[in-house]
């Protein structure tokens, strides 16, 4: 069965997304576990347009370091993030030496957070 170029074989919606485009501000997610490092350069550029710190990143989170897209760095202790809040930072790298997880969100191509 098919209609308007869609076929029942692709029931996961991938063809529709290719034809119509993604919707929403963010299109993917990366979870940076405790003790892990994530780089958001090269083919991963833009994969950390927004970030959320877990409720458990409060313990020992001062040692975790984020590198912003302009190359500056800060520890989570310096940022004082509220857990489970979404921050629209452009990040280049996360070194998560804290005890909680850090979740980053990939921004849809063409969306510019600077307006």
pLDDT digits (tens, 9 = 90+) for 11-32: 566 777 777 776 777 788 888 8
Q: Which domain holds residue 67?
A: 25-107
Whether 3 maps to a domain, the answer reads: no
Question: What is the four-CA torsion angle of 106, 107, 110, 114, rounded to 10 degrees?
Answer: -140
Tell me the average pLDDT of the chain.
Answer: 75
Asked if residues 53 and 89 have their Cβ atoms less than 8 Å apart, the reply is no
Percent of the chain whose pLDDT exceeds 90: 13
Which two structure tokens, joined as six digits, stand for 18?
């290719």
Flag whether 20 is in a domain.
Answer: no
Determine, yes or no, domain membership for 113.
Answer: no
Number of other CB atoms surrounding residue 58 within 10 Å: 15
In angstroms, what CA-CA distances link 63 with 35, 74, 93, 106? 11, 10, 14, 24
Q: Is the pLDDT of residue 1 over 50?
A: no
> Could you give the number of structural domains in the chain?
1
Answer whether residue 115 is part of any domain: no
42 within a domain of the structure (yes/no): yes
């Amino acid at each position: 069965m098919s209609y308007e170029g869609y076929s029942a074989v692709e029931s996961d919606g991938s063809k529709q997304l290719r034809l119509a485009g993604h919707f929403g501000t963010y299109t993917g997610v990366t979870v940076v576990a405790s003790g892990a490092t994530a780089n958001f350069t090269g083919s991963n550029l833009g994969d950390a347009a927004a970030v959320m710190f877990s409720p458990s990143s409060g313990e020992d989170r001062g040692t975790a370091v984020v590198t912003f897209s302009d190359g500056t760095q800060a520890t989570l202790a310096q940022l004082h993030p509220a857990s489970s809040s979404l921050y629209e930072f452009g990040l280049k790298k996360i070194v998560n030496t804290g005890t909680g997880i850090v979740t980053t969100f990939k921004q849809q191509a063409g969306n510019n957070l600077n307006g």
